[in-house]
Amino acid sequence: MHAEIVDRIQPTLTRWDHPFTSGPFTPNYVEYNATELEVIGTIPPRLDGVYLRNTQNPVHAPLGTHHAFDGDGMLHLLSFHQGRCEYRNRFLRTKAFEQEQAAGQGLYAGLIDKPGIARHPGWGARGGLKDTSATDVIVHAGSALTTFYQCGEPYRFDARTLQPLGVSAWGKDVLRHNGISAHPKVCPRTGDLLFFNYGKDAPYMHYGEVDSQDRLVHYVPVPLPGPRLPHDMVLTEHFAILNDFPLHWEEALLEQGRHKLVYDEAKPARFAVVPRRHAPQTGVVWFEASPTYVLHWLNAWEEGDEIVMHGYHQKWPMPRAGFDNQGGTLGPERYGPTLYEWRLHLRTGAVVERRLHERYLEFGQVNARYWGRPYRYSYNMIAHPDSFLFDGIARYDHTTGAMQEYLFGEGRFGSESPMAPALGAVQEDDGYVVSFVTDMQADRSECLVLDARDVAAGPVARIMLPHRISSGTHACWAGAEDIRSSANT
């Protein structure tokens, strides 16, 4: 292995006893470029593109109480080409990150702090927060785009080198409505980026589209009855589907500057079917379903007069007795996420729903070429019982109901594991599943490459990284054809 240290960041965070600043979540402060990585097995030559993962990685001591989602952003990258690979990691040098680096201390309140303790007014739908851009990462218009779940600016990075490319020019047009939230989607047929944002001022939510040249071409309000907490969205050929769930801030307390989650199971889950820019602009149509909360969606498509949606239905959206809301208990026992299907009938307004499987799963991915169209396979993360960690990958066949799984092993925790279509692939599952794994027993991290058709067989390649990286969540795969980079070969 040849590992070059690019930079070291000096933290002011000195307490390591918090569950999300210690153990598998210990932050990284060294930025690397690494080549000639040790490989156990063989890197498939048909694997050509990049695996990117975003991570919460706190640098400065919190002003108040640290929450799992307060950390600064860090991208980890493994770039594949012709059976070889390179690794890089970089802090996301957002405006807020640079402000705190210049000050040598934290300036922003955390998610569960009172905004009044902040030394800077802050950003986002909640207000007072630091726009870390540390939630999600996707590739659109040839470069990597990172986003913040409480809304922020659209930051761009070279998808092979992680060189910062600044904020997309259209960011200023939507920043007045808090910017862009996680999780935008890229249509595999048009190259358009579909996104939403939300906040505490009417109309409370907007929907937008950015074309394949990174130009804002569509932006409309999606009025809600009050402030809500949407997290994800889904698309079909003609529609984007947004949501209004009965888990949100208590409106009476917002007037006092307080943010308290409430769940009203007497209210339905509501889905907004919003026409995409190229579809007839018939207005937003709302559908009602049984109450729940969906943190992440898998896919959706149109089937005759119906829209079919797959996502992770939560049995208990609010923490039950013995569980906290500070990040200490974020495992599946806290909220009970299972694979679920909703069918929205566009002509009658009826909604039919069913549970697809009882296994607790979340953070799933499909072959992204099948976003917005019928698909068969999903690759879901098997959650650790009592923490925000992943123990393995479950491939689910949505046609037969068959499930095969691969467990990382004792003390080994993975990342969201996208499906990477192989070069020349024709079949949906011709490709690989890729995941960063942090091994607490061996004190190292590696990248696993598994055959997407047979994940239970284990990795075809294990690629050793130059350091043990913090466990993280959201990740993506982008093929070489989707990347415009100075490092492209």
Closest alpha carbon to 364 in 346, 385, 378, 343:
378
Q: pLDDT tens for residues 153-166?
A: 999 999 999 999 99
Residue 427 CA to residue 420 CA, distance in Å, equals 12
Q: 383 vs 187, which has greater pLDDT?
A: 187
Residue 212 DSSP SS3: coil
Residue 369 DSSP SS3: helix
DSSP string, 426-473: -STT-EEEEEEEEETTTTEEEEEEEETT-GGG-EEEEEE-SSPPPP--
Confidence grade of residue 201 (pLDDT, cut at 50, 70, 90): very high
- Ordered structural domains, the chain, with CATH: 2-482 (2.120.10.30)
Tokens representing residue 342 in the block: 């909703």
Confidence grade of residue 15 (pLDDT, cut at 50, 70, 90): confident
Distances (CA, A) of 262 to 30, 253, 257: 40, 11, 15
Using the predicted structure, report yes or no on whether residue 330 has a pLDDT greater than 90.
Answer: no
Q: pLDDT tens for residues 105-138?
A: 999 988 888 777 888 888 788 888 899 999 999 9
Residue length, the chain? Answer: 489
Does residue 418 have a cis peptide bond before it, meaning omega lies within 30 degrees of 0? no
DSSP string, 384-399: -TTSS-EEEEEEEETT
Closest alpha carbon to 210 in 192, 225, 231:
192
Q: pLDDT tens for residues 36-89?
A: 999 999 999 999 999 999 999 999 999 888 888 999 999 999 999 999 999 999
DSSP string, 14-48: ----STTSSGGG----EEEEEES--EEE---TT--
Torsion angle of alpha carbons 390, 393, 397, 402, nearest 10°? -100
DSSP string, 228-293: ------EE-SSEEEEEE-SEEE-HHHHTTT---EEE-TTSPEEEEEEE-TTS-----EEEEESS--
Classify the C-alpha dihedral 8-14-18-22 as positive or negative: positive
pTM of the model: 0.96
Residue 175 CA to residue 171 CA, distance in Å, equals 6
